[in-house]
Amino acid sequence: MHKLSYTLGITTLVLLLTTGAWAADDEPTPRIIVSGQGSAQLAPDMALLQLTVTREAETARAALDANSAAMAEVIDALRGQGIAERDIQTSQFSIQP
């Protein structure tokens, strides 16, 4: 009798332990896995430059004329590089005594 109880106990224990495995879902959980890597290279199409031209002279008119001539050279150099007139502008102008 003792051997029968022992066998039934072991059998019951094995059945209880494996029942969870039978109840497991055989179909995997739906999921989406995404991974990626990318790079892009492009030549720049815009540059912002801020240039300062400063001249000192005996009179304001002489300084203005010298400054205007120097700035004209800068603008001509920019045009020579293919920069359109609409893309060149003055942002500040001042005369100090």
Q: What is the pLDDT of residues 47-94, one digit of tens each?
A: 888 888 999 999 999 999 999 999 999 999 999 999 999 999 988 888
**DSSP 8-state code for residue 28:** P
Look at residue 47 and tell me if it is in a domain: no
Q: Do 75 and 88 meet the contact criterion of CB atoms below 8 Å apart?
A: yes
Look at residue 38 and tell me if it is in a domain: no
- Give the structural domain span for 75: 54-87
Q: Do 57 and 66 meet the contact criterion of CB atoms below 8 Å apart?
A: yes
Distance, in Å, from the CA atom of 45 to the CA atom of 22, rounded to the nearest integer, reads 65
Look at residue 40 and tell me if it is in a domain: no
Distance, in Å, from the CA atom of 10 to the CA atom of 24, rounded to the nearest integer, reads 22
* Residue 21 pLDDT level (bands cut at 50, 70, 90): low
Total domains in the fold of the chain: 1
Look at residue 65 and tell me if it is in a domain: yes
- State mean pLDDT over 12-26: 65
Look at residue 62 and tell me if it is in a domain: yes
Q: Do 79 and 85 meet the contact criterion of CB atoms below 8 Å apart?
A: yes
pLDDT at 25: 61
Q: Which residues lie below 8 Å from residue 67, measured CB to CB, with a gap of 6+?
A: 53, 54, 55
More confident residue, 12 or 24: 12
Look at residue 73 and tell me if it is in a domain: yes
Look at residue 96 and tell me if it is in a domain: no
pLDDT at 3: 72
